[in-house]
Amino acid sequence: MSRIGLFVKEARKWLNLKDPVVFVLGNESCDLDSAVCAVSLAYFYMNTNKLPDHLLIDGKCRFLPMMNIHRTNLPLKTEVTYFMRKHGIDIDDLVCNNEVSHDLLNVSKFILVDHHIATPITASDRVIQIFDHRPLDAKNAHIPNECKSKIQEVGSCATLIADEIRALEGSFEEHEYLVSFLRGPIVLDTINFSESADKARPLDIEINGEIEKSLDSNEEDRLKLFKDLVKARSDVSSLSALQLLSKDLKVISNSDKSYVVAIPGFPVLVEDYVKKQNALESLRQFGKERNCDILVLMGMKELETGGIRRDIGLLPLRDTEQTNKVINVLCITNREYLGLTNKTCDLLQGRLFEQQNVKASRKQILPIVQNVLDEN
């Protein structure tokens, strides 16, 4: 077991104590970026002698990484479980959000990584630090004035965590094992620094360059890492069509929660997803269980040449004025921006499009849909 794995095992024991901790948790999709950032930052803060005072609780240092997902859904995150095991972390030692008592949550504080919106389990007034690479959602963030935040649009939140390590330690020299861990989501989220995907930003490139120098690594090593992670993420052979809908899911709504949009992200194209056994029945069941008004299905396939393909499916489950607005803003208003072209596919009463603008990921499309919901 690795040093990080031993830390995760020991940190889990704090669940049984009544003393407050600082939970470090990512977003509710629990993708590789969120999971690795949560573990890495908690581990680093526990093992640095340069910890800022505002992160201490009663003068004590106690950081507990949390997977912001129910334990039963963790196996759906195939690239997360693969990468954790590869770095000597026992999946059973990871703490999931349904395993923490309300009593402990109510006395603890929180560091958010890879998101900056407080959830029901993270009271906004007890969020003490934020690292996120998404555009600031000032309307819904409710960030306390005393909260330290670094919100910067880079390819991967792991870049910001590595930058924090560099800022406090001066270099990566004493933390090669940790930045090697962070390198995974940086490489995956930037599509291995693909120019056509256009995900990498100068800080991603700079941080990755320093990591590779400290690890005496090269482009060939990085390409292998990328391919291994893509393979792990794309290996959905053990997942049913229904499970795949929850593998990488975002759910948004209007202010009174009366209108719900689910946006599942697939590691395969939507046109291939609907070929899975019971796919159409699963779409109906999933929509009913989640009480969704519309499903926005986002598919992606990494190509061996290094580029990517994207497609997007729109499946209205309730014929309402709001549903029509969501469809119109994607299919008409943003048709040119997204580069949508019709594809023939059996998607119940929905529509499927090839997305020519592969640079537009869910990170760009979700705010477009959210703006429609916020208008009412």
- CATH number of the domain to which 329 belongs: 3.10.310.20
pLDDT of residue 344: 84
- Which pLDDT band holds residue 273 (cuts at 50, 70, 90)? very high
User: Which are the contacts of 178, defined by CB distance < 8 A and separation ≥ 6?
Assistant: 4, 40, 43, 44, 165
- Whether 10 and 42 map to the same domain: the answer is yes
d(CA 261, CA 250): 8
- Whether 283 and 156 map to the same domain: the answer is no
- Whether 205 and 122 map to the same domain: the answer is yes
pLDDT digits (tens, 9 = 90+) for 56-69: 776 677 899 999 99
- pLDDT of 376 strictly over 70: no
- Which pLDDT band holds residue 120 (cuts at 50, 70, 90)? low
pLDDT of residue 134: 85
- Whether 245 and 304 map to the same domain: the answer is yes
| 236 falls within a domain | no
* Residue of 212 and 237 predicted with greater confidence: 212
- Which pLDDT band holds residue 135 (cuts at 50, 70, 90)? confident
- Whether 275 and 323 map to the same domain: the answer is yes
- Whether 317 and 169 map to the same domain: the answer is no
- Which pLDDT band holds residue 271 (cuts at 50, 70, 90)? very high
**Phi and psi for 339 in degrees, rounded to 5?**
65, 50
- Whether 192 and 275 map to the same domain: the answer is no
- pLDDT of 340 strictly over 90: yes
What is the total count of domains within the chain?
2
3-state secondary structure the chain: CCHHHHHHHHHHHHHHCCCCCEEEECCCCCCHHHHHHHHHHHHHHHCCCCCCHHHCECCECCEEEEECCCHHHHHHCHHHHHHHHHCCCCHHHCEEHHHCCHHHHHHCEEEEECCCCCCCCCCHHHEEEEEECCCCCHHHHCCCCCCEEEECCCCCHHHHHHHHHHHHHCCCCCCHHHHHHHHHHHHHHCCCCCCCCCCCCHHHHHHHHHHHHHHCCCHHHHHHHHHHHHHHHHCCCCCCHHHHHHHCEEEEECCCCCCEEEEEEECCCHHHHCCCCCHHHHHHHHHHHHCCCEEEEEEEEECCCCCEEEEEEEEECCCCHHHHHHHHHHHHHCHHHHCEEEECCCCCCCEEEEECCCCCCHHHHHHHHHHHHHCC
Last residue within a domain, chosen from 169, 197, 231: 231
Average of per-residue pLDDT across 126-136: 90
- Whether 25 and 118 map to the same domain: the answer is yes
Q: Which CATH number covers residue 169? A: 3.90.1640.10
Angle at 365 between CA 267 and CA 69, to 5 degrees: 55
d(CA 63, CA 66): 10
* Cα R_g (the chain), whole angstroms: 20
pLDDT of residue 133: 93
What's the half-sphere exposure (Cβ side, CA atoms, 13 Å) at 89?
Answer: 24
pLDDT of residue 136: 81
- Exposed / middle / buried, residue 216 (Cβ in 10 Å: 0-12, 13-18, 19+): exposed
- Whether 138 and 266 map to the same domain: the answer is no
- pLDDT of 185 strictly over 90: yes
- Whether 111 and 218 map to the same domain: the answer is yes
- Which pLDDT band holds residue 225 (cuts at 50, 70, 90)? very high
| 168 falls within a domain | yes
Average of per-residue pLDDT across 22-40: 95
pLDDT of residue 50: 83
| 204 falls within a domain | yes
pLDDT of residue 145: 79
- Whether 59 and 114 map to the same domain: the answer is yes
What is the chain's mean pLDDT, rounded? 91
| 370 falls within a domain | yes
Q: Is the pTM of this model over 0.85?
A: no
d(CA 172, CA 188): 20
Last residue within a domain, chosen from 213, 231, 249: 231
In the chain, the percentage of residues whose pLDDT exceeds 90 is 72
pLDDT of residue 177: 93
pLDDT of residue 56: 74
pLDDT digits (tens, 9 = 90+) for 146-167: 888 899 999 999 999 999 999 9
| 72 falls within a domain | yes
Last residue within a domain, chosen from 231, 256, 280: 231
d(CA 233, CA 48): 32
In the chain, the percentage of residues whose pLDDT exceeds 70 is 97
pLDDT of residue 334: 94
Domain range for 368 is 241-374
Reading the block at residue 103, the tokens are 């009593």
pLDDT digits (tens, 9 = 90+) for 76-98: 999 999 999 999 999 999 999 99
- Whether 196 and 328 map to the same domain: the answer is no
